[in-house]
Structure 1
Amino acid sequence: MLSEPTVATSADMNWCCVPKAKREENPYSNSIGGIYSEKNIRLFSYAELRSATDNFNRTNKVGRGGFGTVYKGTIRSGREVAVKVLSAESRQGIREFLTEIDVISNVKHPNLVELIGCCVEGSNRILVYEYLKNSSLDRALLASNSEPADFTWSVRSAICLGVARGLAYLHEEIAAPIVHRDIKASNILLDRNYVPKIGDFGLAKLFPDNVTHISTRVAGTTGYLAPEYAWHGQLTKKADIYSFGVLVLEIVSGTSSSRSILMDDKILLEKAWELYEAKRLKELVDPALVDCPEEEAIRYIMVALFCLQAAAARRPTMPQVVTMLSKPVRINESELTAPGYLQEYSRRSPLSKATTSTDSRFKNLASQEDSNMFSTVVPPTVTEMSPR
C-alpha cells in the first residue's frame, strides 16, 4: 500500500503550476531557468533531498542498480520516498531530460512504481519515487535471508499476474509504448501487501544504449537477457517478454536465476526445460509452498516456457500472457519450442541438448527470418486458449 496521503506545506509545493510570482520567489526555479514551468513535474532542490536522506547517509541506502543508488528519505510533508541518485551520465540536456521525465511521470498504473519528481540541479540528476515497504522481489523472496513462508501461492501468483499487467500496460496501452529492457527481480518492488510494482521503466531513454546493456551484466542478471538482444542488439517488446518468463520461473521455484549462474550451477531455464521434457515439472515448484494447486503452478511454468522460446516471434504478447495466467485455459503444448539462452550461460561441458539445439536453431532463424524474428505479432498457432 502507498503511504497515507498528506497535505503538503507551502514550502513543499515546488510544482510547475504555481503562479509566476511564486516561481520567481523560488531560487531553485531560477537555477534552471524556469524550464520546469513548462512541464508537469515536481522539482526538488538538491538541499531538500540531501536533508530528506540525512546527507545521503549510507544507513538509508536501500538499493543499488545499473542506473544509480537508492536511498530512503522523508520529505517535508512527512511522506517517505525512495531517492534514486543517477550515476550514469545522461546524454540529454536539462530540457530534454525533463521532457522524458515528464513522460515517465504521466505513465500511471497500479503495477508501476510512481515517479513523484526529480532534481536537476547542476550536474545532479536525481529521481524521487514512492517508497515501498517490502523492498524488491529479489530481496523479499530470493535472498538467502528471506522468509518464503510469507510467499504463499496466492501471493506469488498475484505477483506474476501484477507484473504481467504492468508490462502489458507499458507495451500496449500507452501512446508511446515503453520497452523496459531490464525486467528482473530487483526491479520489481513490493508494497506492504506484496502488490508488485515495476520500477525503472522508461529510464533507458535517458542514457546511451550501452549503459543499460552493461549495467544488466554488472548487476549479475545476465540470465534475464533474451538471446536476440544479447547477440544482435535487437530490442523489442519480445525481449521484455523473455525476461518476464525467467522471472515467473524464479517466483514459482523460489530460486534465483542469476545466483545459479554465479554458483556455476545448472541455470534455472535449462533445469525447467529438462524437467518439462521428462514430464516432471512439478519438481520445479518451490517445496516451501504448502497446499499449492499443482495444476495451476504447472500452468504458470508452461506460460513462462512459451515466453522463453528461442524464436522471438513465437513468444506471446503480454496481453496474451495476462489471459493465460488469469484464466484456467488449455495451452497447446504441441506449439511449444525449446527455449533460447546463450552458450556462455552454461559453464559445464559438454553443452546440454537444450542449449546446443536452441543455439543452432536460433542462429539459423536469425539469419533467415530476421523480418519475422523481431515482429511484435505472434502467430495465432502459438497457443490455443479455451476454457476447460
Structure 2
Amino acid sequence: MERCLPRLLLLTAAFSVFVLRARSTDPPLSSDGVNGEVVALMSMKSKMRDERGVMDGWDINSVDPCTWSMVGCSSNGLVVSLDMANNGLSGTLSASVGNLSHLQTMLLQNNKITGALTVEIGKLSKLKTLDLSANKFIGEIPVTLGHLTQLGYLRLDRNKFSGQIPEAVAKLAGLSFLDLSFNNLSGLIPTIFAKDYSVAGNYFLCNSSAMHGCGNVVMNETINSVNPSNHQFTIVLTLSVSCALMLSLLLLVFVLHRCRQHLRFSPIDENCEIGMGQLKRFSFRELQTSTENFSSKNILGQGGFGVVFKGRLKNGAVVAVKRLKDPNFTGEVQFQTEVEMIGLALHRNLLRLLGFCMTSNERLLVYPYMSNGSVADRLRDHHHGKPSLEWSKRMRIALGAARGLLYLHDQCNPKIIHRDVKAANILLDECFEAVVGDFGLAKLLDRRESHVTTAVRGTVGHIAPEYLSTGQSSEKTDVFGFGILLLELITGQKTLGSGYGPAHKGLMLDWVRELYEEKRLSSMVDRNLNGSFVAAELEVAVEVILMCTRSSPSLRPTMCEVVKTLEASTLVEEEEERHEMVHGLSCSFSRTCDANDEASSFVLEPIELSGPR
C-alpha cells in the first residue's frame, strides 16, 4: 500500500494538469455559465442594423457560436475569425468586440458602419488581419491599434477618419500592408514601418519634406481665428475657390455631354472608356462588337471561370476576352481593386492583363491573344507527322512556367496562389515562350479574403490532396500542380482521362516512381518524340516531379528550388542561348517577338502588389 501511494499521487497530479490545460482552451464562461464570446457577438449584433438578415442565426441562448454564419472557430471552439464583409451592415461597432480575445481575423469591408472606431479594438492582441475599408467610420484612428503587435494586414481606407496618423500605428513593424487612403487625415505623415502602404487621397496630409508647409497651415488657421484683419483675405480666397469649382463643374458637364453625344446617349457605365493606371476600362459595346456579339465561332475555350472569346478591336489588335461567370459574385469596388492588383503583376512568363469591363451585370477581362494556344493544345497537335513541341521546347516551357509561378509566390506582395496550374492554363506566345494565364482569378471569384475556401477551384488530376480535402491552398498547392504539368510535358498525355478519379492519379505517380527506381525512364517519354530527348534532362525532370507531388505539402520544394534545379540542367540553358542566337532579338526573354509591337513587351522589374489575394 505504501508503495502504491506515491504512484497514485503522481497520477492524480498529472490528471489535474491535463484538466487545467483542457479548461484553459475552452471558451470563456461567466459566473452564470454564459459563453463570453456569445455575449460579445450578441452585443455587436445589437449595435448593427442587419437589413439582409445575415445575423438572424445569432442566438443569445446558444453555447456554441462556431455554428453561426460569418464566425470561424479554432479546433478548441474559440472564435478566431469574423468574415462580415459585403453584407450591407450599418450602425456602429460595439466596444464588446474587444472581448473576443482570441480573434485573429476581422473582415468588415464594404458595409455602411458609422461612428467612431472603438478603442477597445486595441485589446485584440492576437489580431493579424483587420479590414474596415469602404465604411463610414468617423473620428480619429485609435492609438490603441498600435498595441496590436501581431497585426500584419490593416485596411482603414475609404472611410471618414480625421486627425493625425497615430505614431503607434505607423510604427507597427510587423505590418506587411497598411492602407489609410481616401480619408480626411491631416498633419505630418510619420515614418511608416509597413512594407507596403498607401495614404493617397488625404489632402491635408503633408510629408517631412513639406514640414514648413504644415507649419504654415496650422499658423494661418490660428491667426485667422484671432485676427479680424484677415477677414477680407478669407473672403477673396473663398470666392476664388468657388469660381474654380464652378469652372470645373462646367468643364465636367461639357465632357460628359460630348461623351454621351459620341456614344448616341448610351449609358456611361457601359460605354465610356476610362483609363485606370496601366489598365484600360473597355466599354461593353466595344467588346461585344469585337467578338461579333460573343459569337460561338469565336470561342477559344471555356473553363471554371468563364468563356474566352477571340476579338478584334477597332485599332486592329487581336485580343482574348474572358467573360466571367457569376458577374454579381463580387461587388464593383472589390472587383476593380482585385483587377488593379492582377494588372500590376508584370513578368515575361505571366499573361498580361490589358483591361477589363464592368457593368451592372457583366464582368469581363481582356488579354493579349496567344497565337500558339495552350500547352494542352500543342501536346496533341502534329505537323507533317511530327509533334509541334519537340523536347527542347518542352523543357523551355517547363522552366518558363516555373519562373512565372515563382514570381507570383515570391515577388508579389501579398503572394498570389494560382490554384489551377495545368497545361490548358500555360499559354504559348509567338516564340513558344510559356505564359502562365488565369492567375488571380480564383481569388477574384471567391468572397473570402483568405486562401481557405469552401468552393475548391481547380481541375481534377491537378488538385493537391490537401486542397481537395480541406479547401486550404498555399504556394505548395501550385507546386503540386506544376509537378503534374511537368509529367504531362514528358508523357504528352493527360494525367487523367475522362472517367478516372484521384485513385488513378495516385497510380500514375506510383508508376513514375517505379520507373525511376528501375531506371526505365525512357518508357514514360512521349512516343511521338521517337526517342528524341536528352536523358540527363529527363532524369532531372522526373526527380522534380516526384518532389513536387509528395503527399505532404511541407515536403514539397518551393518554386524557387524548382527553378534552380531546372536551371542547373546546362543543356536547357545551352539550348536557350542557341535559340536566342538563331532567332536574334525576335524571341528574346523580353517576350517581344516584334520590335514594333509595344503592347506585347513586359516590364521585368519586380513590382509589389497591395491588397488581399
User: Same fold judged by TM-score > 0.5?
Assistant: yes
Contact 2:347 2:407 in 1 (8 A): yes
Judging changes above 3 Å, is the alpha-carbon distance between structure 1 residues 49 and 33 closer, same or farther for their aligned structure 2 residues? closer
**Which one of 259, 269, 275 corresponds to residue 26 of structure 1?**
259
CA distance in 2, matches of 1:124, 1:211: 23
**Which one of 150, 162, 166 corresponds to residue 388 of structure 2?**
150
Equivalent residue runs for 1:47-58 within 5 Å: 47-58=285-296
CA distance in 2, matches of 1:114, 1:205: 17
Judging changes above 3 Å, is the alpha-carbon distance between structure 1 residues 130 and 92 closer, same or farther for their aligned structure 2 residues? same
CA distance in 1, matches of 2:385, 2:494: 14
Judging changes above 3 Å, is the alpha-carbon distance between structure 1 residues 79 and 167 closer, same or farther for their aligned structure 2 residues? same
- Indicate the percent of aligned positions where both proteins have the same amino acid: 37
Equivalent residue runs for 1:239-318 within 5 Å: 239-259=477-497, 262=500, 266-267=504-505, 268-289=508-529, 290-318=531-559
| Corresponding letter in the other structure for 1:245 | G
CA deviation map 1:296-327 (0-9, x unaligned): 11211111111111111111111110110011
CA deviation map 1:263-319 (0-9, x unaligned): 999543232122223332221111222431112112111111111111111111111
Aligned residue number for residue 356 of structure 2? 118
Give unpaired runs (5+ residues) of structure 1. 1-18, 330-388
Is 1:139 matched up with 2:370? no
Across the two proteins, how many residue pairs are aligned to each other? 307
Judging changes above 3 Å, is the alpha-carbon distance between structure 1 residues 35 and 100 closer, same or farther for their aligned structure 2 residues? farther
Residue 143 of structure 1, CA deviation: 6.5
**Which one of 466, 473, 478 corresponds to residue 228 of structure 1?**
466
Worse overlay, 202-211 or 260-269: 260-269
Aligned residue number for residue 175 of structure 1? 413
Backbone CA RMSD of aligned residues: 3.0
Residue 33 of structure 1, CA deviation: 12
CA distance in 2, matches of 1:143, 1:151: 8
Contact 2:323 2:365 in 1 (8 A): yes
CA deviation map 1:53-81 (0-9, x unaligned): 11111111110010000000001111000
| Corresponding letter in the other structure for 2:538 | A
| Corresponding letter in the other structure for 1:293 | V
Contact 1:24 1:30 in 2 (8 A): no
CA distance in 2, matches of 1:195, 1:147: 23
SS at match of 2:420: coil
SS at match of 2:527: coil
Equivalent residue runs for 1:322-337 within 5 Å: 322-328=563-569
Contact 1:86 1:126 in 2 (8 A): yes
Judging changes above 3 Å, is the alpha-carbon distance between structure 1 residues 277 and 101 closer, same or farther for their aligned structure 2 residues? same
Residue 183 of structure 1, CA deviation: 0.6
CA distance in 2, matches of 1:36, 1:198: 27
Higher strand share: 2
Judging changes above 3 Å, is the alpha-carbon distance between structure 1 residues 39 and 301 closer, same or farther for their aligned structure 2 residues? same
Contact 1:29 1:36 in 2 (8 A): no
Judging changes above 3 Å, is the alpha-carbon distance between structure 1 residues 199 and 146 closer, same or farther for their aligned structure 2 residues? farther
Contact 2:456 2:468 in 1 (8 A): no
| Corresponding letter in the other structure for 1:194 | F
CA deviation map 1:195-249 (0-9, x unaligned): 1111110111221379994553xxxx31111111111222110000000000001
CA deviation map 1:73-121 (0-9, x unaligned): 0011110000011113453211221111011111111111111111102
| Corresponding letter in the other structure for 2:344 | N
SS at match of 1:133: coil
Q: Rg larger in 1 or in 2?
A: 2
Equivalent residue runs for 1:39-50 within 5 Å: 40-50=278-288
| Corresponding letter in the other structure for 1:307 | C
Higher helix share: 1
Give unpaired runs (5+ residues) of structure 2. 1-250, 261-265, 571-613
| TM-score of the two chains, using structure 2 as the length reference | 0.47
Worse overlay, 19-28 or 289-298: 19-28
CA distance in 2, matches of 1:169, 1:65: 24
CA distance in 1, matches of 2:445, 2:553: 25
CA distance in 1, matches of 2:501, 2:333: 45
| TM-score of the two chains, using structure 1 as the length reference | 0.72
Contact 1:249 1:269 in 2 (8 A): no
CA distance in 2, matches of 1:178, 1:110: 16
Residue 138 of structure 1, CA deviation: 1.1
CA distance in 2, matches of 1:32, 1:321: 44
Contact 1:66 1:212 in 2 (8 A): no
